[in-house]
Amino acid sequence: MIVLTCPWCGARDSEEFGYVGELGARRPDPKAATPAQWRSYLYQRANIAGWTSERWYHRMGCRRFLTVERDTTTNEVRSVLDAGGLAEDQ
């Protein structure tokens, strides 16, 4: 169980978080998307061995969605940011 350094709560066990998924393509325009584009957004993932950006949710803590940069081969985490850009001193 890795440690995620939540930008709000500090270092916490990953068990407190929910893994949402790899950050991929942005949501296509629902009015204009072709089935291929939409299903690529739904299902296609790069599944990179190495540094990835992914989304986690701090379910047991601040309840913020987070953007995590993690190396999938070593589980090293180099940044954890609030996905909505929220910050204490804004």
Partner 1 sequence: MAEEVPIARSPIVPADPEVVAAGWAVSGRRSSAALRITDCMPLAKVAIKAPLGGAMAHGLGVRFGRSARQRWEIGEGEAVVLVVGAGPGEWLVLGPPRTQDRLRSVLCHTAAVTDELVSVIDLTHGRALLRLTGERSGDLLAKECGVDLADEACPDGAALRSAVSGVATDLIRDDVDGADRAPTTSYLLHCERSSGQYLFDSLLDAGAELGVDIDGYVPPGL
Partner 2 sequence: MTVLREIGRAPDPMAMRLDTRPGEVVDRETAFTFYWNGHSYPAYEGDTIASALAACGVRIFSRSFKYHRPRGLLTADYLDPGCIVQVDDEPNVRGGHRLARPGMTVRPQDTWPSLAHDVKAANGLLGRFLGPGFYYKTFIRPQSLWPTYERVLRRFAHGGEVPATAQAPGGRPRYDKRFAHPDVLVAGAGPAGIAAAVAAARSGAQVVLVEEEHSLGGHLRWGGPADLTALQELRDLVGATPGIEVLTNSVVLGRYDDNWVAVVQRGLAGGAERLVKARVKCLVVAAGLLERPYVFAGNDIPGVMLSTAVRRLVNLYAVRPGTRAVVLTANPEGDATAEDLTTAGVQVVHVEDARRGGDVVRAFGRSGVTAVEVAGGRRLECDLLVTSVGWTAPVSLLTMAGNIPRYDERCARFRPDVARLPSGVMATGGIVGDGSTAELVAHGEATGREAANRADRLAREWRTMAPQGSGEGAARPAPRPESARIPELAPQPHPELFRGATHGIVDFSEDVSSKDLFTAVAEGYRYVELAKRYTTATMGPAQGKLETVNVVAIVAEATGRTIAETGTTTWRPPYAPVTLGALAGRSREPRRVTPMQPWHELHGAVPLVAGAWIRPDHYGDPESEVLAVRERVGIIDVTPIGKIDLRGPDVPRLLNLLYVNRWSKLDVGRVRYGVMCAEDGVVLDDGVTGRLDIDHYLMSTTSSGAATVWEWAERWLQTEHPDWQVQVTPVTTAYASVNVAGPRSRELVQRVVDDIDVSSEAFPYMAVRVGQVAGVAGCVLWRIGFTGELSYELHIPASYGLHLWERLLEQGRDLGVRPFGVEAQRILRLEKGHLIVGQDTDGLTRAFSAGLAGLVKLDKDDFVGMPELGWQRESGDDVRLVALRTADPALVPHEGTQLIDGNDRICGRITSSRMSPTLGRSVCLAQVAEHLAQPGTEVAIRLTDGGTAVATVSEHLAQVDLQGVRLRG
Q: Which residues contact 83 (CB under 8 A, 6 or more apart)?
A: 55, 64, 65, 66, 67
Residue 42 beta carbon to partner 2: minimum distance, rounded to whole angstroms: 6
Please answer whether residues 78 and 3 qualify as being in contact, where contact means their C-beta atoms are separated by less than 8 angstroms: no
CA 86 to chain centre: 15
In the complex with partner 1, the residue whose CB is nearer, 16 or 22, is 16
Residues 8-37 that bind partner 2 (CB under 8 A): 8-11, 13, 18, 20, 27, 30-31, 33, 35
Task: Look at the block and give the residue holding tokens 């998924």.
Answer: 21
Binding site for partner 2 (CB under 8 A): 1-3, 5-11, 13, 18, 20, 27, 30-31, 33, 35, 38, 41-42, 55, 57, 59, 63-65, 75, 83-86, 88
